[in-house]
Structure 1
Amino acid sequence: MTTPPRLVPLLEQFDFARKRLTDRMAGPVSDSGNGVDVDVAPMTDEEYRWEPAPGCWSIRRRVDGPGPSAAFLVGAGGWGRDSADSPHPSPPPFTTIAWRLSHLSEMLALRADHTDGSHRLTREDHPVAADAAGAIRVFDSAATAWRAVLLGADDAALDTVGFSRYPYGSDPEDLFIETVWWVNQELLHHGAEIALIRDLYRARQH
Protein backbone atom coordinates (compact mmCIF):
# COMPACT_ATOMS: atom_id res chain seq x y z
CA MET A 1 0.00 0.00 0.00
CA THR A 2 1.23 3.50 -0.83
CA THR A 3 1.82 5.66 2.26
CA PRO A 4 -0.42 8.76 2.20
CA PRO A 5 1.76 11.82 1.42
CA ARG A 6 0.76 13.64 4.63
CA LEU A 7 1.82 10.61 6.70
CA VAL A 8 5.29 10.42 5.10
CA PRO A 9 6.92 13.22 7.19
CA LEU A 10 5.41 11.83 10.40
CA LEU A 11 6.68 8.34 9.58
CA GLU A 12 10.14 9.73 8.79
CA GLN A 13 10.11 11.68 12.06
CA PHE A 14 9.15 8.53 13.97
CA ASP A 15 11.97 6.55 12.33
CA PHE A 16 14.47 9.30 13.10
CA ALA A 17 13.44 9.58 16.76
CA ARG A 18 13.38 5.81 17.21
CA LYS A 19 16.87 5.33 15.75
CA ARG A 20 18.33 8.22 17.67
CA LEU A 21 16.98 6.92 20.98
CA THR A 22 18.06 3.34 20.28
CA ASP A 23 21.56 4.46 19.31
CA ARG A 24 21.74 6.69 22.39
CA MET A 25 20.94 3.74 24.64
CA ALA A 26 22.72 0.87 22.92
CA GLY A 27 25.61 2.44 20.98
CA PRO A 28 28.20 1.90 19.71
CA VAL A 29 27.77 5.37 18.19
CA SER A 30 25.10 8.04 18.12
CA ASP A 31 24.52 11.13 15.98
CA SER A 32 25.78 14.14 17.91
CA GLY A 33 23.19 16.38 16.27
CA ASN A 34 25.43 17.79 13.56
CA GLY A 35 25.96 14.60 11.58
CA VAL A 36 29.11 13.53 13.45
CA ASP A 37 29.03 10.14 15.18
CA VAL A 38 30.13 10.04 18.81
CA ASP A 39 31.02 6.92 20.77
CA VAL A 40 28.29 5.68 23.10
CA ALA A 41 28.72 2.90 25.63
CA PRO A 42 25.78 0.54 26.04
CA MET A 43 23.54 1.46 28.95
CA THR A 44 24.28 -0.59 32.07
CA ASP A 45 21.68 -2.07 34.40
CA GLU A 46 22.84 0.24 37.20
CA GLU A 47 22.39 3.27 34.96
CA TYR A 48 19.02 2.02 33.71
CA ARG A 49 17.66 1.97 37.27
CA TRP A 50 19.69 4.93 38.65
CA GLU A 51 17.64 7.18 40.93
CA PRO A 52 19.20 10.66 40.70
CA ALA A 53 16.82 12.31 43.18
CA PRO A 54 14.98 11.38 46.37
CA GLY A 55 11.57 9.77 45.97
CA CYS A 56 12.02 8.60 42.38
CA TRP A 57 9.49 6.47 40.59
CA SER A 58 11.15 3.52 38.88
CA ILE A 59 10.68 -0.17 38.18
CA ARG A 60 10.84 -2.52 41.15
CA ARG A 61 10.68 -6.17 42.07
CA ARG A 62 7.05 -7.01 42.60
CA VAL A 63 7.86 -8.70 45.91
CA ASP A 64 9.32 -5.40 47.18
CA GLY A 65 6.18 -3.42 46.43
CA PRO A 66 5.88 0.13 45.05
CA GLY A 67 8.26 2.97 45.75
CA PRO A 68 7.71 6.31 47.50
CA SER A 69 4.27 7.90 46.85
CA ALA A 70 3.36 5.12 44.41
CA ALA A 71 0.28 3.03 45.16
CA PHE A 72 0.98 -0.05 43.04
CA LEU A 73 3.20 -1.57 40.34
CA VAL A 74 1.92 -2.00 36.78
CA GLY A 75 3.13 -4.46 34.17
CA ALA A 76 3.63 -8.17 33.67
CA GLY A 77 6.33 -10.34 35.21
CA GLY A 78 8.43 -10.21 38.33
CA TRP A 79 9.02 -6.46 38.01
CA GLY A 80 6.56 -3.59 37.76
CA ARG A 81 6.53 0.16 37.23
CA ASP A 82 5.59 2.60 40.00
CA SER A 83 2.15 4.06 39.49
CA ALA A 84 -0.91 5.46 41.25
CA ASP A 85 -4.48 6.25 40.39
CA SER A 86 -5.24 9.74 39.13
CA PRO A 87 -4.57 12.32 40.36
CA HIS A 88 -0.86 11.52 40.60
CA PRO A 89 1.35 13.11 43.26
CA SER A 90 2.06 16.81 42.77
CA PRO A 91 4.72 17.78 41.99
CA PRO A 92 5.30 14.61 39.93
CA PRO A 93 8.11 12.34 41.19
CA PHE A 94 11.31 12.30 39.14
CA THR A 95 11.29 9.16 37.03
CA THR A 96 14.24 6.95 36.12
CA ILE A 97 15.32 5.83 32.66
CA ALA A 98 13.73 2.47 33.46
CA TRP A 99 10.39 4.10 34.27
CA ARG A 100 10.39 6.34 31.19
CA LEU A 101 11.44 3.57 28.81
CA SER A 102 8.86 1.16 30.23
CA HIS A 103 6.15 3.81 29.86
CA LEU A 104 7.17 4.57 26.29
CA SER A 105 7.35 0.92 25.25
CA GLU A 106 3.99 0.15 26.84
CA MET A 107 2.37 3.09 25.08
CA LEU A 108 3.66 1.95 21.66
CA ALA A 109 2.77 -1.71 22.13
CA LEU A 110 -0.71 -1.11 23.51
CA ARG A 111 -1.56 1.52 20.92
CA ALA A 112 -0.53 -0.90 18.19
CA ASP A 113 -2.76 -3.59 19.69
CA HIS A 114 -5.74 -1.27 20.13
CA THR A 115 -5.41 0.00 16.55
CA ASP A 116 -4.69 -3.13 14.53
CA GLY A 117 -4.52 -6.04 16.95
CA SER A 118 -6.58 -7.89 19.51
CA HIS A 119 -7.90 -4.68 21.14
CA ARG A 120 -7.55 -6.48 24.46
CA LEU A 121 -4.09 -5.74 25.90
CA THR A 122 -3.89 -3.81 29.16
CA ARG A 123 -1.03 -2.36 31.15
CA GLU A 124 -1.00 -5.53 33.22
CA ASP A 125 -0.13 -7.54 30.08
CA HIS A 126 2.94 -5.51 29.10
CA PRO A 127 6.31 -6.91 30.27
CA VAL A 128 8.56 -4.78 32.46
CA ALA A 129 12.21 -5.62 31.80
CA ALA A 130 14.51 -5.78 34.82
CA ASP A 131 17.67 -5.10 32.80
CA ALA A 132 18.74 -2.49 30.27
CA ALA A 133 19.33 -4.85 27.35
CA GLY A 134 15.94 -6.47 27.88
CA ALA A 135 14.23 -3.08 28.04
CA ILE A 136 15.82 -2.02 24.75
CA ARG A 137 14.53 -5.22 23.13
CA VAL A 138 11.02 -4.58 24.49
CA PHE A 139 11.17 -1.03 23.13
CA ASP A 140 12.31 -2.25 19.72
CA SER A 141 9.47 -4.76 19.54
CA ALA A 142 6.90 -2.16 20.54
CA ALA A 143 8.23 0.41 18.07
CA THR A 144 8.19 -2.18 15.28
CA ALA A 145 4.56 -3.02 16.05
CA TRP A 146 3.53 0.65 15.97
CA ARG A 147 5.42 1.26 12.72
CA ALA A 148 3.55 -1.64 11.11
CA VAL A 149 0.29 0.07 12.07
CA LEU A 150 1.44 3.28 10.37
CA LEU A 151 2.42 1.43 7.20
CA GLY A 152 -1.10 -0.02 7.04
CA ALA A 153 -2.89 3.31 7.45
CA ASP A 154 -4.54 4.90 4.42
CA ASP A 155 -6.10 8.36 4.06
CA ALA A 156 -9.45 7.13 5.31
CA ALA A 157 -7.82 5.74 8.47
CA LEU A 158 -5.99 9.01 9.13
CA ASP A 159 -9.31 10.87 9.03
CA THR A 160 -11.15 8.37 11.24
CA VAL A 161 -12.04 9.40 14.79
CA GLY A 162 -11.24 6.53 17.14
CA PHE A 163 -9.27 4.47 14.60
CA SER A 164 -7.06 3.82 17.64
CA ARG A 165 -9.09 2.58 20.60
CA TYR A 166 -6.16 2.86 23.04
CA PRO A 167 -7.95 3.12 26.41
CA TYR A 168 -5.38 5.19 28.35
CA GLY A 169 -5.58 8.37 26.30
CA SER A 170 -7.92 10.46 24.18
CA ASP A 171 -7.49 8.23 21.09
CA PRO A 172 -11.16 7.17 20.88
CA GLU A 173 -12.11 10.87 20.49
CA ASP A 174 -9.23 11.87 18.17
CA LEU A 175 -8.57 11.69 14.45
CA PHE A 176 -5.95 9.01 13.88
CA ILE A 177 -3.52 11.49 12.33
CA GLU A 178 -3.65 13.42 15.62
CA THR A 179 -2.80 10.21 17.48
CA VAL A 180 0.16 9.64 15.14
CA TRP A 181 1.43 13.15 15.88
CA TRP A 182 0.97 12.61 19.62
CA VAL A 183 2.95 9.37 19.60
CA ASN A 184 5.81 11.12 17.80
CA GLN A 185 6.01 13.87 20.40
CA GLU A 186 5.96 11.27 23.18
CA LEU A 187 8.90 9.46 21.55
CA LEU A 188 10.80 12.71 20.96
CA HIS A 189 10.41 14.15 24.42
CA HIS A 190 10.93 10.94 26.39
CA GLY A 191 13.89 10.11 24.17
CA ALA A 192 15.43 13.48 25.00
CA GLU A 193 14.83 12.92 28.71
CA ILE A 194 16.50 9.50 28.61
CA ALA A 195 19.49 10.98 26.77
CA LEU A 196 19.84 13.74 29.36
CA ILE A 197 19.73 11.29 32.27
CA ARG A 198 22.47 9.26 30.54
CA ASP A 199 24.56 12.46 30.37
CA LEU A 200 23.98 13.18 34.04
CA TYR A 201 24.87 9.64 35.02
CA ARG A 202 28.13 9.82 33.07
CA ALA A 203 29.00 13.25 34.55
CA ARG A 204 28.58 12.06 38.14
CA GLN A 205 31.46 9.61 37.67
CA HIS A 206 34.04 12.29 36.91
Structure 2
Amino acid sequence: MMTNQRLQPLLEQYDWATERLLTRLAGPTSNSGDDNDVDVPVLTDAECLWEPVEACWSVRRRADGPGPGAAKLIGAGEWGRDGASESPWPPPFTTIAWRLDHISETLIGRSNHLGGDRTFDRAAYESRADAAGAIEVFRQAAADWRQALLQVDESDYDRTGLSSYPYGSDAEETFPSIVWWMNQEILHHGAEIALLRDLYVHQLR
Protein backbone atom coordinates (compact mmCIF):
# COMPACT_ATOMS: atom_id res chain seq x y z
CA MET A 1 0.00 0.00 0.00
CA MET A 2 1.21 3.47 -0.86
CA THR A 3 2.59 5.62 1.95
CA ASN A 4 3.33 9.33 2.19
CA GLN A 5 6.91 8.50 1.25
CA ARG A 6 5.61 7.88 -2.27
CA LEU A 7 3.78 11.21 -2.41
CA GLN A 8 6.51 13.32 -0.84
CA PRO A 9 8.91 13.56 -3.83
CA LEU A 10 6.02 14.43 -6.15
CA LEU A 11 4.83 17.08 -3.71
CA GLU A 12 8.31 18.55 -3.44
CA GLN A 13 8.57 18.66 -7.24
CA TYR A 14 5.16 20.33 -7.43
CA ASP A 15 6.10 22.97 -4.86
CA TRP A 16 9.33 23.73 -6.71
CA ALA A 17 7.60 23.95 -10.10
CA THR A 18 4.80 26.25 -8.93
CA GLU A 19 7.14 28.53 -7.01
CA ARG A 20 9.53 28.68 -9.97
CA LEU A 21 6.72 29.66 -12.33
CA LEU A 22 5.33 32.28 -9.96
CA THR A 23 8.72 33.94 -9.55
CA ARG A 24 9.20 33.96 -13.34
CA LEU A 25 5.84 35.67 -13.70
CA ALA A 26 5.86 38.16 -10.86
CA GLY A 27 9.37 38.27 -9.40
CA PRO A 28 10.68 40.31 -7.81
CA THR A 29 13.69 38.06 -8.39
CA SER A 30 14.39 34.57 -9.67
CA ASN A 31 17.36 32.27 -9.18
CA SER A 32 19.41 32.22 -12.37
CA GLY A 33 20.69 28.69 -11.74
CA ASP A 34 24.05 29.73 -10.31
CA ASP A 35 22.69 30.86 -6.93
CA ASN A 36 22.50 34.47 -8.06
CA ASP A 37 19.15 36.24 -7.97
CA VAL A 38 18.22 38.24 -11.04
CA ASP A 39 15.53 40.91 -11.21
CA VAL A 40 12.26 39.79 -12.81
CA PRO A 41 9.78 42.39 -14.06
CA VAL A 42 6.13 41.68 -13.33
CA LEU A 43 4.24 40.30 -16.31
CA THR A 44 2.28 43.01 -18.12
CA ASP A 45 -1.02 42.72 -19.96
CA ALA A 46 0.69 43.41 -23.29
CA GLU A 47 3.26 40.68 -22.71
CA CYS A 48 0.63 38.24 -21.50
CA LEU A 49 -1.32 38.63 -24.75
CA TRP A 50 1.71 38.98 -27.06
CA GLU A 51 1.35 36.96 -30.27
CA PRO A 52 4.89 36.39 -31.62
CA VAL A 53 3.74 34.48 -34.71
CA GLU A 54 0.69 34.44 -36.96
CA ALA A 55 -2.39 32.43 -36.00
CA CYS A 56 -1.64 32.27 -32.27
CA TRP A 57 -4.24 30.92 -29.90
CA SER A 58 -4.89 33.20 -26.97
CA VAL A 59 -7.46 34.48 -24.48
CA ARG A 60 -9.89 36.76 -26.31
CA ARG A 61 -12.97 38.88 -25.77
CA ARG A 62 -15.96 36.69 -26.37
CA ALA A 63 -17.56 39.40 -28.48
CA ASP A 64 -14.64 39.15 -30.94
CA GLY A 65 -15.01 35.39 -31.41
CA PRO A 66 -12.27 32.75 -31.59
CA GLY A 67 -8.89 33.36 -33.19
CA PRO A 68 -7.45 31.84 -36.38
CA GLY A 69 -7.86 28.07 -36.50
CA ALA A 70 -9.91 27.95 -33.29
CA ALA A 71 -13.51 26.75 -33.35
CA LYS A 72 -14.69 28.19 -30.05
CA LEU A 73 -13.83 30.19 -26.96
CA ILE A 74 -13.76 27.96 -23.89
CA GLY A 75 -15.59 29.04 -20.76
CA ALA A 76 -18.01 31.79 -19.84
CA GLY A 77 -17.80 35.49 -19.15
CA GLU A 78 -16.30 38.37 -21.12
CA TRP A 79 -13.14 36.47 -22.08
CA GLY A 80 -12.56 32.94 -23.34
CA ARG A 81 -9.65 30.71 -24.36
CA ASP A 82 -9.24 29.60 -27.97
CA GLY A 83 -10.10 25.94 -28.40
CA ALA A 84 -11.48 23.26 -30.69
CA SER A 85 -13.46 20.05 -30.37
CA GLU A 86 -10.32 18.07 -31.20
CA SER A 87 -6.72 19.18 -30.73
CA PRO A 88 -5.31 20.21 -34.11
CA TRP A 89 -2.01 18.94 -35.48
CA PRO A 90 0.45 20.50 -35.47
CA PRO A 91 -0.61 22.24 -32.25
CA PRO A 92 -1.15 26.00 -32.57
CA PHE A 93 1.35 28.36 -31.01
CA THR A 94 -0.17 29.79 -27.84
CA THR A 95 0.36 32.99 -25.87
CA ILE A 96 1.38 33.27 -22.23
CA ALA A 97 -2.25 34.13 -21.47
CA TRP A 98 -3.44 30.90 -23.11
CA ARG A 99 -0.85 28.70 -21.39
CA LEU A 100 -1.39 30.22 -17.94
CA ASP A 101 -5.17 30.01 -18.30
CA HIS A 102 -4.95 26.38 -19.41
CA ILE A 103 -2.86 25.44 -16.35
CA SER A 104 -5.15 27.32 -13.96
CA GLU A 105 -8.36 25.88 -15.37
CA THR A 106 -6.96 22.35 -15.18
CA LEU A 107 -5.83 22.82 -11.57
CA ILE A 108 -9.22 24.25 -10.58
CA GLY A 109 -11.11 21.47 -12.30
CA ARG A 110 -9.00 18.65 -10.91
CA SER A 111 -9.10 20.13 -7.39
CA ASN A 112 -12.87 20.18 -7.55
CA HIS A 113 -13.19 16.67 -8.94
CA LEU A 114 -10.68 15.21 -6.49
CA GLY A 115 -11.37 16.99 -3.22
CA GLY A 116 -14.43 19.14 -3.88
CA ASP A 117 -18.07 18.69 -4.77
CA ARG A 118 -17.27 17.48 -8.32
CA THR A 119 -19.43 20.11 -9.99
CA PHE A 120 -16.75 21.93 -12.00
CA ASP A 121 -17.80 22.44 -15.61
CA ARG A 122 -15.40 23.93 -18.15
CA ALA A 123 -18.32 25.74 -19.81
CA ALA A 124 -18.77 27.87 -16.66
CA TYR A 125 -15.07 28.68 -16.17
CA GLU A 126 -14.14 32.36 -16.56
CA SER A 127 -10.76 33.27 -18.08
CA ARG A 128 -8.71 36.30 -17.12
CA ALA A 129 -6.85 38.24 -19.79
CA ASP A 130 -5.21 40.74 -17.43
CA ALA A 131 -1.79 39.60 -16.24
CA ALA A 132 -2.31 40.39 -12.56
CA GLY A 133 -5.64 38.58 -12.48
CA ALA A 134 -4.29 35.57 -14.36
CA ILE A 135 -1.35 35.25 -11.96
CA GLU A 136 -3.61 35.39 -8.91
CA VAL A 137 -5.97 32.80 -10.37
CA PHE A 138 -3.00 30.49 -10.90
CA ARG A 139 -1.64 31.16 -7.40
CA GLN A 140 -4.97 30.24 -5.79
CA ALA A 141 -5.54 27.27 -8.11
CA ALA A 142 -2.10 25.89 -7.26
CA ALA A 143 -2.82 26.21 -3.52
CA ASP A 144 -6.20 24.50 -3.92
CA TRP A 145 -4.70 21.55 -5.81
CA ARG A 146 -2.02 21.10 -3.17
CA GLN A 147 -4.65 21.07 -0.45
CA ALA A 148 -6.70 18.52 -2.37
CA LEU A 149 -3.66 16.24 -2.59
CA LEU A 150 -3.10 16.32 1.15
CA GLN A 151 -6.73 15.38 1.85
CA VAL A 152 -6.52 12.07 0.00
CA ASP A 153 -6.42 9.08 2.34
CA GLU A 154 -3.42 6.80 1.85
CA SER A 155 -5.72 3.80 1.43
CA ASP A 156 -7.04 5.39 -1.78
CA TYR A 157 -3.70 6.13 -3.41
CA ASP A 158 -3.74 3.04 -5.63
CA ARG A 159 -7.43 3.12 -6.53
CA THR A 160 -8.30 4.06 -10.08
CA GLY A 161 -10.99 6.65 -10.71
CA LEU A 162 -10.36 8.56 -7.51
CA SER A 163 -10.79 11.79 -9.49
CA SER A 164 -13.90 12.32 -11.60
CA TYR A 165 -12.34 15.13 -13.68
CA PRO A 166 -14.08 14.71 -17.06
CA TYR A 167 -11.49 16.35 -19.35
CA GLY A 168 -8.69 13.81 -19.02
CA SER A 169 -8.03 10.13 -18.39
CA ASP A 170 -8.57 10.42 -14.62
CA ALA A 171 -11.19 7.67 -14.51
CA GLU A 172 -8.49 5.21 -15.64
CA GLU A 173 -5.63 6.57 -13.54
CA THR A 174 -4.34 6.03 -10.02
CA PHE A 175 -3.72 8.96 -7.70
CA PRO A 176 0.09 9.14 -8.21
CA SER A 177 -0.38 9.09 -11.99
CA ILE A 178 -2.68 12.11 -11.78
CA VAL A 179 -0.26 13.96 -9.48
CA TRP A 180 2.64 13.21 -11.82
CA TRP A 181 0.65 14.43 -14.82
CA MET A 182 -0.18 17.76 -13.20
CA ASN A 183 3.46 18.21 -12.22
CA GLN A 184 4.61 17.78 -15.80
CA GLU A 185 1.89 20.14 -17.02
CA ILE A 186 3.25 22.90 -14.79
CA LEU A 187 6.87 22.05 -15.57
CA HIS A 188 6.57 22.05 -19.34
CA HIS A 189 4.12 24.93 -19.68
CA GLY A 190 6.13 26.87 -17.10
CA ALA A 191 9.27 26.41 -19.21
CA GLU A 192 7.38 27.58 -22.29
CA ILE A 193 6.15 30.68 -20.46
CA ALA A 194 9.68 31.45 -19.25
CA LEU A 195 11.00 31.22 -22.81
CA LEU A 196 8.25 33.50 -24.10
CA ARG A 197 9.17 36.04 -21.43
CA ASP A 198 12.80 35.94 -22.59
CA LEU A 199 11.79 36.34 -26.25
CA TYR A 200 9.51 39.26 -25.41
CA VAL A 201 12.34 41.14 -23.71
CA HIS A 202 14.78 40.53 -26.54
CA GLN A 203 12.37 41.51 -29.34
CA LEU A 204 12.02 44.93 -27.68
CA ARG A 205 15.76 45.61 -27.93
**Which runs of 5 or more residues in structure 2 are unaligned?**
none
Indicate the residue corresponding to 2:39 in structure 1: 39
Q: Note if 1:167 corresponds to 2:159.
A: no
> Following TM superposition, where does structure 1 have runs of at least 4 consecutive aligned residues deviating by more than 2 angstroms?
none
Deviation at 1:32, TM superposition (A): 1.2
Q: How does 1:48-197 map to 2 (within 5 A)?
A: 48-86=48-86, 88-197=87-196
Q: Which residue type is aligned with residue 31 of structure 2? A: D
Q: Which residue type is aligned with residue 153 of structure 1? A: V
Taking the aligned partners of 2:35 and 2:125, their CA distance within structure 1 comes to: 35
Q: Which residue type is aligned with residue 85 of structure 1? A: S
Deviation at 1:76, TM superposition (A): 2.6
Taking the aligned partners of 2:129 and 2:95, their CA distance within structure 1 comes to: 13
What is the total number of aligned residue pairs between the two structures? 203
Taking the aligned partners of 1:165 and 1:203, their CA distance within structure 2 comes to: 43
Q: Which residue type is aligned with residue 66 of structure 1? A: P
Query: In 2, are the aligned partners of 1:158 and 1:177 still within 8 Å (CA)?
Result: yes
Q: Which residue type is aligned with residue 191 of structure 2? A: A
Taking the aligned partners of 1:35 and 1:157, their CA distance within structure 2 comes to: 39
For residues 163-191 of structure 1, the C-alpha deviation after alignment (integer angstroms, 9 at most, x for no partner) is: 11111111110111110011100110000
Taking the aligned partners of 1:37 and 1:94, their CA distance within structure 2 comes to: 30
Deviation at 1:91, TM superposition (A): 1.4
For residues 108-127 of structure 1, the C-alpha deviation after alignment (integer angstroms, 9 at most, x for no partner) is: 00000000111111112222
Q: Which residue type is aligned with residue 28 of structure 2? A: P
Deviation at 1:154, TM superposition (A): 3.1
Secondary structure of 1:82 counterpart: strand
Between 1:21-30 and 1:32-41, the stretch displaced more is 32-41
**Which runs of 5 or more residues in structure 1 are unaligned?**
none
Deviation at 1:85, TM superposition (A): 0.4
Secondary structure of 1:55 counterpart: coil
Q: Which residue type is aligned with residue 71 of structure 1? A: A
Query: In 2, are the aligned partners of 1:4 and 1:154 still within 8 Å (CA)?
Result: no
Q: Which residue type is aligned with residue 202 of structure 2? A: A
Taking the aligned partners of 2:148 and 2:34, their CA distance within structure 1 comes to: 31
Root-mean-square deviation (CA, aligned residues, Å) is 1.0
TM-score, normalised with respect to structure 1: 0.96
TM-score, normalised with respect to structure 2: 0.96
For residues 49-92 of structure 1, the C-alpha deviation after alignment (integer angstroms, 9 at most, x for no partner) is: 00010000000000000000101101232000000001x32211
Taking the aligned partners of 2:20 and 2:45, their CA distance within structure 1 comes to: 20
Taking the aligned partners of 2:104 and 2:34, their CA distance within structure 1 comes to: 27
Secondary structure of 1:30 counterpart: strand
Secondary structure of 2:110 counterpart: helix
Deviation at 1:17, TM superposition (A): 0.4
Q: Which residue type is aligned with residue 192 of structure 1? A: A
